[in-house]
Structure 1
Amino acid sequence: MAGIPASNMTISEPIGQEKQNYTPALITLAVLYFMMGFITCLNDTLVPFFKKGFTLTYSESSLVQFYFFLTYGIASIPAGKVVEKVGYKKGMVLGFSIAACGALLFFPAAVMHQYALFLAALFIVAIGIVLLQVAANPYITILGPAKTASSRLTLIQGVGSIGTTTAPLFGAYYILAPLQTSSASSDAVKYPYLGIAAALIIIALIVSRLSLPVIKMQDEAIENTSDSKKGIFSFRNLNYGIIGLFVYVGAEVSVGTFLTNYIADLLKITESAANNYVAFYWGGMLVGRLIGSVLLKSIKASTVLSVCAALAIILIIVSINTTGYLAVWSMIAVGLCNSIMFAIIFSLAVNGLGKYTTQASGLLSTAIAGGAIISFCQGLLIDNSTWKVAFMLPMACYVYIMFYGLNGYKSKFSSL
C-alpha cells in the first residue's frame, strides 16, 4: 500500500565497478510484499474470529482494522524520518523485527483472553508494516523509467496479492475452524502467530546479511521556477489524491473486513466456510494487478482508474439488490476492480510535484488511515441498519475515485 516514490532518488554505484546485481533486491521485495499482504489480510479473519470469541458487535470487531490502519495515519511520517536516518535496508530489518514482536504478543494476549491486548499487539505489528512499506517502495520505483512506475508498482503488488490470497485460506483452516469446536476462543491464534513471528525473524536476519542497492536522495526542483515558492497544497492532483487514497483504502478494507460475515449471512454457512470465499476477493486483486501491469503500458492510467471504479459501483449495486451466489460473487468481483487503484492514485497524485514528491508521499501514506475510519463507520452502519445500507458507504468511495480518474487528477504541473 503506502510508500515513497523515488522520482528524486538514484541508485549509488561505485565508479569503475560493475553494475550491481538487482536480483537479491527483487527477491527481497517479493518476500517482503508477500508477508505484508499475508499479515494485513489475515486481519479479515481476525474480525469474525474476535466477534464470535468475545461476543462483539460489528463495530467493536472492526476495531481490529481501526487500530491496524490508524497506525498509518500516526506512524507514516515518523517512519519516513527513521528510514532517512538508518537507511532503507536497516529500515526493512527494523520493520520485520517490530512486526515480529507484535506477533509474539498474540501468545500472552491469548493466554489472558483479553481483546484489548490483541488490539495492542496488532498496533505494534502495524508499526512494523508501516516501516516496511516506507523502506521498500523506493526500490520498486527506482528500478525503471518513471513513466512505467504505475505498471511496475502494480506488478510488485501482485506478488503481495499472493499473500493476501493465501491468508483467508490459512485463517479459515487454522483460526476459524477451531473456533467452531473450542470453548477456549483465543487459543486458535496462539501458534499461527508464533509461526508468523518466527518467519519474520528469519527474514529479518537474512535481509540484514544481503547486499542491497544503496539509494540516495537528489535535489529536484519544479521546472516552472515562477511557481517554485508555492506550497505543497498548491497541487490540485495531490489534494484530491490524498482524499482518493483515503477512500480507496477505506473501501478495499471495509469490503474485505465484513465479507466473511456478509457471505455467511447470505449463504447461511459457518464463518470458516465463508472465509474461504474471501480468498477469491484477494485473488481477484492478484489477477487484476498482473493484467493491469500490462494494460497500463498502453492505456492511460486515469482511464483505467475511472473504468474500474465504475465497474466496482455496478458490482456493489448488483450484490446488495440480489441474493445467493449472484450477490456473493458480485461482491467478490469488486476485488478485481480494486487491483490497480492504489498504484494509479498514488502515481497520479505525485506526478509533477518535483521537490515536493517525498513530502507528498508522507501525506499520502497517512491517508491509508482511511482503512481504519471507513471500516469502523461501516461496522456502525451494519449494527444499526442493514447490509444494503452499509455497503452504500464503500460505493460512495468508488464514486469519488471515478471522479478522480475523470477529472480530479488534472493539474497544470502534471505531465499525465
Structure 2
Amino acid sequence: MRDMIKHLTKTFRASALCTGALLCLSISPVGYASDNQQLDGVKQELSRQQGQLQDKQKRYAALQNELKQHEVSIANATKKIHQAENQRQALTRSIAKLSQEQQTLQQQRLGQQEMLRELLNTQYRQGQDSQLANLLSGEDSHTLDRFTVYAERISEARIKALTALAAIDTELQLKKHELAQQRQRQQDLVDELKEENQKRSRDQKRRKQTLAGIKSQISTDRGYINELKVNERRLLKEIARAKLEAERAARQAPMDGLAKQRGRLPWPVKGSVLHNYGTKQRGELRWKGMVIAKDSGSKVNAVYPGKVIFADWLRGYGLMLAIDHGKGDMTFYGYNQTLLKKVGDTVQANEAIALVGDSGGQSRSGLYFEIRRKGTPTNPRTWLKK
C-alpha cells in the first residue's frame, strides 16, 4: 500500500496538477490513522486541485469571451465612426458645391432683375411714343409697323425674363431647402460621431480591465506559451476551413496566385517592423508572420487582388481578415480595430480592408501580417517591395 501511495504521489507531482499542496503531504504514515486514510487524503487533494483548475479555466474562458465582446463592440463603433466620417466629408463637399450653386443662382437672379428693369424702362419709353402720337406727327406706315414689332419684341423679352426669374427663384428655393437638409444631416452625423466615440471609450476602458484580468490569469511564462500554442491551433483550424472555401471559390473564378509577385507586393501598412518572421516569440515558439507598428485607425490595404474568405474575431489574433489569392496562396491581416470587408467580398490591391488596432489583447497597435502557401507560412518580407 505504501509503495502504491509513493507511486501516486510522484505521478501527481509530475503532472503539475498538485503543485504546492502535494509537496506538503508526507509519505510517512505518521499523523495518519492508516494507509487508507492517507490515500483518501491524496484523492481529496487531487479532486480539490482539479476543481480549482477547472474553475480557473472557466474564469479564463469567460475573460476571453468578455475581451471578444469588448473588441467586437469597439470594432462596430469604429466602423460606424469611419462610415459617418466618410459621409460627413461627402456632405461637406456637397454643401460647398450647393453653396457655390446658390451664389451662382443669386448672381443670375440679379442679372435677370437688371435685364427686366431695362426692358420695363424701354417699354415705358416706348409707351410714351405711342402710335397715335406717331400718326399725328406724320410718320409713314412703314415706320409705325417697325415701332409695333419693336414693342412686341420688348414685351416678349419681358415675359421671358419674368419666366426665367421665376424659374431661378424656384431653383434657388430648392437649393436652400436641400442645403438646410444637408446641414441638418451633417449635424446629426456630428452628434452620432460624438455618441459612438463615447461608447468606444467606455468599451476601451472595460477592455483594459478585462486584459488586466487575463494577464493575471497567465502569470507564468509557461502559461503564456500554452496560450500561444492554443491560439495557433485555432488559427490552423480556421486556415483549414478557409482552404476549403478557397477551393470552392477557385472552381468558380480561378485566380493566379502570388507565384509571380515575389518582391513586388505593396506593404499592407507602412511602419516599423516590431517582429520579423521566424524570430523567437516565446519559448520554442517563433513568429509565423510579421508585426508592423502603426497608429490605431490607419488603413490596412490588401497586398494583391483576391476574395475575402475569413473576417472575424479570433482569440490571440483579434479581428482578423484572410484573403484567398488563388493557387493555395492566402494573406492574413490580424490585430485590427475594425474590418471594412466581409466574407465573399472581392478586393483589389491597395484597397482598404481594415483599420489598424490592438485587438486580441495586444499591448500596442499594429498589424499582424502573414502569408501562407498551401497552408505553409512563408517569410512575408521576401514578397514585399524593398
Higher strand proportion:
2
> Structure 2 length as normaliser, TM-score?
0.30
Q: Which protein shows a greater Rg?
A: 2
Higher normalized helix content (fraction of residues): 1
